[in-house]
Structure formats: structure tokens, C-alpha cells
Amino acid sequence: MHFKVSKEDQTNHRYSGVLCHPTSFPSPYGIGDLGQGAYDFIDFLAAAGQHLWQILPLCPTTWGDSPYQGFSVFAGQPLLISPDILKKQNLLSEEDLEEIPDFNPDKVEYGEVKTYKKGLFQTAWKNFHHTADKNLLEEYQAFCDSNEYWLNDYALFMAGKDYHKGLNWYEWDTSLRDPDPLEKEEWTEKLKDEVDYYKFLQFLFFDQWFDLKEYANNKGIAIIGDIPIFTCLDSADVWANRRLFRLDSKGFPLEMAGVPPDYFSATGQLWGNPLYDWDVHAADGYSWWIERIRNQLDQVDYLRIDHFRGFEAYWAVPAGEETAVNGEWKKGPGEDLFLAIEKELGEGLPIFAEDLGIITPEVERLRDMFAFPGMKVLQFGFEGEGESTFLPHQLDTRNCVCYTGTHDNDTSCGWYANTNEQNRDKVRRYMNTDASSISWDFIRTCLGTIARYAIFPVQDLLKLGSEARMNIPGTPTGNWAFRFREGQLNQGIADGLRQMTHLFGRWG
């Protein structure tokens, strides 16, 4: 089911909502999941008069547990599978869930969670072999058939990683590192149980996700998804489609993705992702990108593309560099890519453009050519003296998304506590506040802008400080762990947010 909004509503109405990744939901299993905590969150949004829920990428994560570094741009994160729902499906028993480790309720401890949930999933897989639920078996087969175009490669890739003790794909046996079609068939048969297991996990994830999405849509809530422009080197996407990337004969990147020095880092950010060979993409009509966007828009209602400016020009860092300083800008596919996507998927793509950082007139023209809303982050507007395009009175279009902050920013309370007194004074005078409830002052200001969409992280609703920050860009560990507790998003918060939302004419 898709959340439908008419063009008239998109033009005339104003929307607001909350940024919260499912890993942050309350759950007894060490990490937020797609179970009761997710449904409670949607109920909260509805009670609070919100119509948007923004998430981070849903992919299975690799190093650093970052959702922007995934083993596949098509697959879902198995750690989000709810054990409680598996119990309802008789894939787990009451006894299987009796001994739950003493997980930290405020932080995701990814190592412990992975170990625990792997045991549950393997038990569910064994029970699936003996299930009498014919509907479940038929749904699993239908899922495998309809997702064959990405699922087969992903499942074989993950099984191959297990077989090779977690090594990167370019370190595997040659016959699986560079397989021809016959060798792929042989490896798939050799690792059949492992391959089918990874297909099973994907079936479980998407079965739960689409039920949750339908529930949200029925409550009048649209989901804003998120994808990184680039893919992880050690991923099924690169392994199965090497010709689409700038790699040498051994599978190593000739150049790496990143951004030059900016607000977040004095040495830039060296992401290490391989760059696309855009000539190859163009030669086959951008088919891989079309399938990627189609796949994502099946899962969500709107799609935010991280690092949108990379489609106009991207920062290419030579292989071997330790920082992103010594790179150069190279031209991206520009409008040709989105024209190809529109030709297949229709005009008026529900895409949000992450257009932060070094933005040129060329990037703005590309964004505006397709009427993609850009991003305005309030925190940026209050840093330094004078004017800023991020200040509410400087917003030059309604077609944008105003954020108090994003997953890469400090929380509003944390930012205010840690910034200098000049910036704090600017906030107090601009918002006419004593700063006693500063994150809600930011939310109120965000709601009151002309921006069609207003989004604020759940941490700002809860008035949390820097300890609740989701990510510190440029730091490889210790991120993506924030969780909130059951009951924190209470009726009082819902009532206050609903009143404020209606005061500023946000749709509802």
C-alpha cells in the first residue's frame, strides 16, 4: 500500500513529522525492531498530529554499523526483525525467548545483539522447515520469485562471506570472487542451505516491514526513506556488478568517494566507497539505478537521497590517500539520470535532495529542474554573526524540508549547550526565549517556517543532550546506538506537539 497525496495537497498543505530510525525504538531484545515499539511510535505520531516519519537507510550494515554502509542497497536489516512477531508465526516458542541478555536500554550494543539474534534466527529457520503453515511457505516462495533480480546475488554473497570467514569479496577464492554463470550455479548449490537462510531472513524482514508500512499509511502517516548515493565496496552490489564501478582488475577502487573539508571535518570525509563508472551506467540506460529507485519507492512513500550534489559533480579521492583533502571534482550524470528514471517511473518523483555542504548553482539547477525539495537545517542558521540562508526569514522557497537538526547534527539541546555564547544569544533573541526548553523552541521555529515539510529528531522532542546524538561524522565507531525507553513519548508530549502543529497550519 502507498500513502497517496494529491498534487493539490502537496502544493497547498504543510506537513511535519519525526526523524527516528527503528533501531532506536524500545524493545527487550537489545535493539529497536519492527514489533510493538514500532507500532507504538506510529500511534504516537498519529496522536501528535504528525503525518511524516523519516528513517535512515534500512540496509544490512557493515563496518561501524552505519546504515550508510550496507551489504546491499536492496536488502533489509535483519536485526530489525521482531522476535515477538516470529513467535506469533510459531517460528519461535515462548521458551526460545525466556533468556534475554541484560541489554542496555539506552544504547544498542551491536556485537551482543548480533550474537543473540543470530541464535534466534537460526532457530526460526529450523522451525520454518517443519511449519504446517502453507500460507507462510507460499508467501516465502512468492517473495523469492518476485525479488530474484537482487535476492539471489545478495544471498549468495552473504553465504560466500560466511564460507570465507567474513573476508571481503575481493579476497575470496577466484571461482567465487570472479564467477562465471556456471560457477555461480555451482556455488549456489554448494552453499544451498546458507543461501536459502539469507533469503529467509529477507522474507521475514520485508514481511514485517510492509505490514508496518500499511499500518502507518492507514493512520495517515507517510514514510520518508533514505539512501546513500554510493554503495559499500564489500557489498553484493559491487561484487555482482563490477562493471558499473571504477575498479581495478583485482576489485580495488581506482578512486574513492568522500567530501572535501567542510563544517563537519577539517580534513573532509573519506568514505572509501567505490565511484560509479557513469559511462557504463549511461550505456545501458541507467537500468541499475532505475531498479534501485523503484525498489526503494516500493518500501517507502518519499525518498531522501544522501549527498545529492554527487549527481552533478562528485569528489574523487585517489586510491591510497588517508584523508579526503587531495581530491578533485568530477562531473556526474546530471539530469540524464533522472530523466531516465522519470521515463520509467513517471514524473514528479517523491524525492528529497540532501543538498548540504558545498552547493553550486549547477547543483541547485539540477535539484530545481525536477522540483526536488532541498534541506534547511536550523542549527546552521545560528552559527556566526549575520545572515544565513538557513534562518527562517531567509528561506526562499516553500518547496524544502526544514530540520531542527539531522542524524549528523548534535541534538538541539546538545548544540545549544556546546556552542559559544554569541550563538546562544542569537538564538534567544531570534526565538524570543529564555532557552529553558530550547529543543522545543527549535521545533516551534521549524514548524513556523514557510517550508512545506518540517522534520525534527525524536531526541529533540525528548529534550535530550549530546549523549543521545545519533552520529558524529568522521568517527568510525560509537555511532548509531541511541535508543529511547518505553513511555518516554507520552501523551503530554503528543498533546503539546499536536497543538503546536495545528497552530502553524501543518496538515492534519
SS3 content of the chain, % helix, strand, coil (to 5): 45, 15, 40
CB 325 within 8 A of CB 260: yes
Residue with cell 545572515: 387
Rounded distance between C-alpha atoms, residue 433 and residue 152, angstroms: 56
The amino acid at 292 = R
Residue with cell 500500500: 1
- H helix and E strand count, the chain: 20, 12
Residue with cell 552547493: 359
Which DSSP state fits 309? Answer: G
Residue with cell 492534519: 508
Residues 6+ apart with CB under 8 A from 304: 54, 224, 225, 226, 227, 351, 352, 353, 354
Q: What residues pair up with 302 in beta bridges, in sequence order?
A: 224
- The size of the chain, in residues, is 508
Task: Show the 3-state SS of 69-96.
Answer: CECCCCCCCHHHCCHHHHHHCCCCCCHH
Q: Please list the active-site residues.
A: 306, 354, 408
For the CA atoms of 176, 177, 182, 188, what is the dihedral angle to 10 degrees? 40
3-state secondary structure of 255: strand
Cell (9 digits) for 343: 521515463
Residues 6+ apart with CB under 8 A from 237: 72, 73, 74, 231
CB 463 within 8 A of CB 437: yes
Residues 6+ apart with CB under 8 A from 95: none
Nearest by Cα to 44 from 443, 486, 438: 486
Rounded distance between C-alpha atoms, residue 243 and residue 426, angstroms: 52
